[in-house]
Amino acid sequence: MLNYAAPLDRAFQALADPTRRAMVERLTQGPASISELKRPLKMSLPAVMQHVAVLETSGLIVSEKSGRVRTCRINPPALAEAERWITERRLEWERRLDRLDGYLKTLNTEGENDDQDR
C-alpha cells in the first residue's frame, strides 16, 4: 500500500495548487516550453520553474532540454493513475448510494402497505 500511495500522494499534492493545475491543463493541449507555460501566469520565471519541478517530481509531467529551451509534456500514465483512483472512489459511492436508495424505497413501500392495512 505504501508504494501505491506515495506516487499518488505526490500527484494529488501537485494538483492541489491552482497554478500547477493550470499548467497541467495547458499541457493537455500539447507540449509547451517553460516560457509558454509562464506566459499567462503573473509570476517570475524562477517561480514557474519551481512549479514545474513539483509537477516533474510528482511524475505528472516530464521535460527535456534542447539547447536553451526546456519543453514539458504530460506523462499520461501518472494522470491515468490519479483518474483511476478517483473513479474507484466514485464507483464505490455510487454503489453505496444505490443501496441506500433501494433501502429507502423498501421502507417507503412498507410504510405504504402499513397505511393500507389500517
HSE-up of 17 (CA within 13 Å, CB side)? Answer: 16
Q: Per the domain annotation, does 104 fall within a domain? A: no
Q: Is residue 28 situated within a structural domain? A: yes
Per-residue pLDDT of the chain (118 residues; tens, 9 = 90+): 455 568 899 999 999 999 999 999 999 999 999 999 999 999 999 999 999 999 999 999 999 999 999 999 999 999 999 999 999 999 999 999 999 999 999 988 877 776 666 5
69 is in which domain, residue-wise?
A: 2-75
Q: Classify residue 10: in a domain, yes or no.
A: yes
User: Is the residue at 100 inside a domain?
Assistant: no
Give how many domains the chain has, as a whole number: 1
Within-domain flag for 102: no
- Provide the phi-psi class of 59: left if phi over 0, else alpha when psi is between -120 and 50, else beta: left
Q: What is the pLDDT of residues 56-76, one digit of tens each?
A: 999 999 999 999 999 999 999
Indicate which CATH number applies to the domain containing 61.
Answer: 1.10.10.10
Domain annotation covers residue 103: no
Which residue is listed with cell 402497505? 113
* Residue 68 resides in a domain: yes
- Does some domain include residue 98? no
Closest by CA to 74, choosing from 22, 25, 16, 9, is: 25
